[in-house]
Amino acid sequence: MADLPSDKQRQRERDQARTAPPNRGVGRFDVQPQHLYFTSLVVRDAQFAYDKRAKQLMDTLDKYSQSAGTGWGADSFADRYGIVAGKFLVLWAKSVVSVGGVSVGFTQTANNYAMADWAARKGKGEPPEEK
């Protein structure tokens, strides 16, 4: 698996991609590729935060693994709780991946918009860089 970008790297990327506020003309709605790229970075960073919270929750709960005591009853409860916790983690992992899919979708849509705009100009200038 590739190394993940640090919090500082992600913040720097987001700061560089930040766009100026849109013109507040009445009835205008103009979404540009750079707006979608920025949105994709914001969603990506939310994915990291979302993932960290589950890990923090599990780390905290691990400290209380024997809070019900010891013996057959406590062990039986812990076994059942472990099954539920495992299902929770599987579901959480899938939801983290789905948030990443949203980010990828915004990026792909921005790439498609940029390419369509370039094609509408009959290919004048350099083709847009795919992100």
- In three state form, how does the secondary structure of 54-88 look? HHHHHHHHHCCCCCCCCCHHHHHHHHHHHHHHHHH
| pLDDT of 31 | 80
**If the chain, 131 residues long, is cut into consecutive pieces of 10 residues, what is the mean pLDDT of each piece?**
83 86 67 90 92 88 78 86 88 92 94 92 86 88
* In the chain, domain spans: 32-64+86-120
| pLDDT of 115 | 92
Torsion angle of C-alpha atoms 33, 39, 45, 51, degrees rounded to 10: -120
- Alpha-carbon distance of 33 to 19, in angstroms, equals 10
| pLDDT of 63 | 83
The pTM of this model reads: 0.72
Q: Half-sphere exposure of residue 114, counting CA atoms within 13 Å on the CB side? A: 18
Q: What angle do CA 52, 44, 110 make, to 5 degrees?
A: 175
C-alpha torsion sign, points 22, 24, 30, 31: positive
C-alpha torsion sign, points 55, 57, 63, 64: negative
